Amino acid sequence: MTPEQAQQEALFHSRLVQQSNSYMNACFSISAARCGLDDGKFDLIGGSSIVDPEGHVVAEAKTTEDELIVAEIDLAECRQGKEKTFDFARHRRIETYGLIDKQTGVVEPELLA
């Protein structure tokens, strides 16, 4: 893999984690990433971004130089995820978790006839 491909792959994974965590936690996330050269010799990927509660990137750095990114956010956008999609108080069924403390690994169910 070339250095450019490695940088793109690292940036992809960094963004993937940010987007998925914003969505799973129904919140905005703001990632301030370092860029340029660390100690004058190690390339940093940059990639600062702001992601909304649905996992969409609303602002992102365009270069690997110092940049300031801004976005107007409305915290009310978090309500859908927190009150409906990921309303754990309403959706969690702890009575179905019994196997977690009774077995380790996979136990395949019996085949249906």
- In the sheet that 29-31 helps form, which strands lie side by side, from edge to edge? 29-31, 49-51, 57-60
- Tens digits of residue pLDDT in 2-28: 988 988 999 999 999 999 999 999 999
Question: Which residue is it, tokens 């108080």?
Answer: 89
Q: What is the mean pLDDT of residues 41-66?
A: 92
- What average pLDDT is seen over the chain? 90
Please provide the distance, in angstroms rounded to a whole number, between the alpha carbons at the two ends of the chain.
Answer: 50
CATH homologous superfamily of 3-101: Carbon-nitrogen hydrolase (3.60.110.10)
The CA distance from 110 to 33, in Å, is: 50
Give CA–CA dist 98/1, Å, rounded. 46
CA–CA separation, 39 and 3 (whole Å): 18
Tens digits of residue pLDDT in 90-106 = 888 888 888 777 888 88
| pTM, to two decimals | 0.76
